[in-house]
Structure 1
Amino acid sequence: MSNMSVVSGVPTVVVPEFVRFKAACPDCHEQFELAASAIRLAVGASHRTTFYSFTCPRCDAAVRKPAGERIVELLSTGGVRTLRLHAGL
């Protein structure tokens, strides 16, 4: 069975609700798994403005980490909500 469907003529990946991402907190050093809904991805014009963020479930620290091309691909196809940042003109 394929995990692809077509919505309005555009192929779309159907992501299972149980997809989890491994993460770690730089403050308390705890390692854990997060659901896609617990992560936010921001894609900017450069590698400096592309990152993902989440709140540590152990210490409540706001965590922000850089996201390279592979991380962007994994998170976006895994159902993480993505914000596209645009440079001002």
Structure 2
Amino acid sequence: MSVMPGFSAQVGPVIFRAACPDCRSRFELAAGALRLAIGASRRTTFYSFTCPDCGSSVRKPAGERIVELLTGGGVRTLRLHSTL
């Protein structure tokens, strides 16, 4: 996951580069095509999208840097809470 250089949330739309592990296609996605879930641990923090080429639902782990890029780029975020 990377952000296209030269774009910022204040100047124009942010475009993210992504890849599908199923069909191995590489493509660009707008922030609206991605979802970020932030859980209580690294294991429960991930981003997801649907591959525009094969239609697979893709879910990938999101470390701190990815979370920063996605939230800064306007990706919708869901905070996961655990109940005991």
Which residue number in structure 2 is paired with residue 31 of structure 1? 26
Per-residue CA distance 1:46-85 (angstroms, 9 max, x = gap): 0000000000000000000000000000000100000000
Aligned to 1:33, the other structure's residue is in SS state strand
Distance 1:74 1:88 in 2: 28
Asked if residue 49 in structure 1 is aligned to residue 30 in structure 2, the reply is no
**Quick one: which amino acid aligns to residue 49 of structure 1?**
T
Q: How does 1:1-89 map to 2 (within 5 A)?
A: 15=9, 16-89=11-84
Aligned length: 76
TM-score by length of 1: 0.81
Distance 2:14 2:75 in 1: 10
Structure 1: give runs of 5+ residues left out of the alignment. 1-13
Aligned identity (percent) is 71
Distance 1:25 1:17 in 2: 25
Distance apart, 1:18 and its partner CA: 2.0
Give RMSD over aligned pairs: 1.2
Structure 2: give runs of 5+ residues left out of the alignment. 1-7
- Larger deviation: 56-65 or 17-26? 17-26
TM-score by length of 2: 0.86
List, as ranges, runs of 4+ consecutive aligned residues in structure 1 with deviation greater than 2 Å.
none
Which structure is higher in strand share?
A: 1
